[in-house]
Amino acid sequence: MTGNYGNQRNRKNVLTNRHHFEVEVFNTVLDMQISEFGNRFNEVSTTLIENMSGLNPCESFSKFDTSKIVTFSEMYPNDFSNSERGCLLGDLTVFYHTVKEDDKFKNLGGMTDLARAMVETGTHKTFHLVYRVLKLALVLPVATATVERCFSKMKLIKTDLRNRMGEEYLNNALLCAVEKESFLKVKEEDVMARFQAFKNRRGNIF
């Protein structure tokens, strides 16, 4: 890495291989990724994800941040009343001190494990506001990814040559494209049997 990069005769300032890979390659790619993230996630989405991270139960709830969670709940005004939002901070504080010393809440890998542990221990009923915030945080990535995936698939399915595609056919095509993993589990024999049962046919398609 300390050797000279390129042809020294064509360069006024000789560059090392380390300088080339760090400045001309690594930093360039890093700038491209940062720009792509900036175009993909606006300020609201970034703030939403940052506040959602306050529910992280990893490392014995060391990253559990009640202020971020309260701010996250304020971004959903239709899901919490003013009185519930006022009680949320107190519930979060009590919840934090309750589960921190509980062995059933140790070594949790993420918010999914936290939700599962709350249901198994019944704390989702005791701290129903905390559990409601947790459910919103868990649904958010799935909903966002599903919508983005639908738009991406729709651009591939409904092209300029298919601009007369009907709504029902488009919905069916999108369903097959978006839920490809689920359709791969369906057996061909079951599809053929269902198609055969639609009406009486002259021949058997099996």
Confidence class for position 115, pLDDT limits 50, 70, 90: very high
What's the whole-model pTM score?
A: 0.55
Q: Using CA atoms, how far apart are residues 114 and 149, in angstroms rounded to an integer?
A: 27
**pLDDT higher than threshold 70 for residue 6:** no
Helix (H, G, I), strand (E, B) or coil at 163: coil
Residue 198's φ and ψ, nearest 5 degrees, are -60, -45
Do 37 and 20 meet the contact criterion of CB atoms below 8 Å apart? no
Q: What is the mean pLDDT of residues 54-64?
A: 88
What does DSSP assign to residue 160?
G
Query: Comparing C-alpha atoms, which of 195, 42, 54, 134 is closest to residue 186?
Result: 195
Helix (H, G, I), strand (E, B) or coil at 4: strand
